[in-house]
């Protein structure tokens, strides 16, 4: 799929950059000077432009806010130790977004449109990429329907936009998670594998209840048997039991995480045993009881590697091994940072240079 659209660029008259300490900002609250937008109508991508960051002009009847025909991606740009800026595996985001677009009956985005818009935007706003050790520029590509229509139907018009926000850690501390047995994130045949807005909307109420009980996030179970782990909050989940790294296999209820597949690639390269399969609550609790459960952590673009230090299940709290003792996830965290900062060889060619 190709796109020959020229991107019209209107630069901001006054940068907001000096208003922030980009190395010290909360996640996702402040946005860079520019945004990329492409418009779809009449069966094709018609226009693409970069303009100063601003609001969406929209009707109160815009279909995406009523019926949720909206999907998004999360990706990051990093500043290396020499001041260069690179993206982490952006084509993986492009592919995943298009799989989501098909499932949600939305138009796919040509690779050239996605990559050119992204590269131009990040080149223009490169000074917004934090240089701090855990800093990055979080990039949010998203696609949403824009028909002014109350009837439930596939929209004829869409917008694809990319905005960006300087970010530090998503979770500033290791977290405690609650195994959720009453509410479910996804069902078979649904859109659990898609980064669809509704997947996140439906998680907010159960997460609020978990937070009221003192947990930061939820550890979701499968909705059919209630026995197998799926994901945790905003990330995939991994366990180290004995010397094996295990994680739920991706399916139509689980997001095919890019950090997830990067962690597994490194583990395999290091010669570790890796299992992608159904992981049951029972086996993890048994491993906890017999002392073989070494590590539990979340992996995601925003969360990077998020240590899980406690699990609540059926009214009981289970304390997990101290973070300092977690050899695998600490090494993964450091290695991913070293690749992104250009300190070690990028053997898998994950980084895509912007400038």
Residues that bind ligand COI (CB under 6 A): 74, 200, 234, 300-303
> For 307, how many CA atoms within 13 A lie in the half-sphere containing its CB?
21
In the bound state with ligand COI, the residue whose beta carbon lies nearer, of 62 and 302, is: 302
Q: Shortest gap between Cβ of 301 and ligand COI (angstroms)?
A: 4
Shortest separation between residue 200's beta carbon and ligand COI, angstroms = 6
For ligand COI, the closer CB: 281 or 296: 296
Judged by beta carbon, residue 155 or residue 301, the one nearer ligand COI is 301
Contact present, 182 and 221 (Cβ < 8 Å): no
For the CA atoms of 332, 338, 341, 342, the dihedral, rounded to the nearest 10 degrees, stands at -130
CB of 102 to ligand COI, least distance (A): 19
To the nearest whole angstrom, how small is the minimum distance from the Cβ of residue 218 to ligand COI? 13
Minimum CB distance to ligand COI smaller for 232 or for 301: 301
- Least Å distance, CB 303 to ligand COI, is 6
Q: Taking the CA atoms of 245, 330, 80 and 125 in sequence, report the sign of the dihedral they define.
A: positive
Of 199, 231, 233, 230, the residue nearest 216 (C-alpha): 233
266 vs 303 by CB, closer to ligand COI: 303
Q: Minimal distance in Å, beta carbon 89 to ligand COI? A: 12
Closer to ligand COI by CB, 107 or 300: give it: 300
Nearest approach, Cβ of residue 28 and ligand COI (Å):
7
> Closer CB to ligand COI, residue 75 or residue 354?
75
Nearer to ligand COI, 64 or 301 (CB): 301
Question: In terms of CB distance, is 5 or 302 closer to ligand COI?
Answer: 302
- Residues with Cβ within 8 Å of 316's Cβ and at least 6 positions away in sequence, in order, are none
CB of 73 to ligand COI, least distance (A): 7
Q: Determine the residue with CB nearest ligand COI.
A: 74
Q: From the CB of 244, what's the least distance to ligand COI, in Å?
A: 25
How many residues are listed for the chain in this entry?
355
């Amino acid at each position: 799929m190709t796109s020959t659209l020229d991107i019209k660029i209107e630069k901001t008259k006054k940068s907001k950059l000096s208003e922030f300490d980009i190395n010290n900002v909360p996640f996702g609250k402040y946005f860079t000077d520019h945004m990329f937008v492409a418009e779809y109508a009449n069966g094709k991508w018609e226009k693409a432009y970069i303009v100063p960051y601003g609001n969406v002009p929209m009707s109160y009847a815009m279909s995406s806010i009523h019926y949720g025909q909206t999907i998004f991606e999360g990706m990051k740009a990093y500043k290396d130790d020499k001041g260069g800026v690179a993206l982490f595996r952006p084509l993986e985001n492009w592919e995943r977004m298009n799989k989501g677009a098909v499932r949600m009956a939305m138009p796919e985005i040509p690779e050239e449109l996605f990559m050119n818009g992204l590269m131009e935007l990040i080149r223009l706003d490169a000074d917004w990429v934090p240089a701090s050790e855990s800093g990055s520029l979080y990039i949010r590509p998203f696609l949403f329907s824009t028909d002014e229509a109350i009837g439930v139907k596939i929209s004829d018009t869409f917008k694809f936009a990319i905005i960006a926000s300087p970010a530090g850690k998503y979770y500033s501390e290791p977290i405690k998670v609650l195994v959720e047995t009453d509410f479910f994130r996804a069902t078979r045949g649904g859109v659990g594998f898609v980064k669809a807005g509704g997947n996140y909307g439906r998680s907010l109420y159960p997460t609020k209840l978990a937070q009221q009980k003192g947990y930061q996030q939820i550890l979701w179970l499968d909705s059919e048997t209630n026995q197998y782990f799926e994901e945790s909050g905003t990330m995939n989940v991994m366990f180290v039991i004995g010397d094996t790294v295990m994680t739920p296999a991706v399916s139509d209820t689980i997001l095919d995480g890019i950090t997830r597949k990067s962690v597994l690639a490194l583990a395999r390269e290091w010669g570790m045993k890796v299992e992608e399969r159904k992981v049951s609550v029972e086996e993890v609790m048994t491993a906890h009881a017999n002392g073989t459960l070494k590590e539990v952590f979340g992996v995601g673009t925003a969360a990077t590697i998020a240590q899980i230090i406690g699990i609540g299940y059926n009214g009981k709290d289970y304390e997990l091994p101290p973070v300092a003792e977690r050899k695998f996830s600490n090494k993964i965290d450091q290695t991913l940072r070293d690749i992104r900062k250009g300190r070690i060889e990028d053997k898998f060619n994950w980084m895509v240079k912007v400038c």
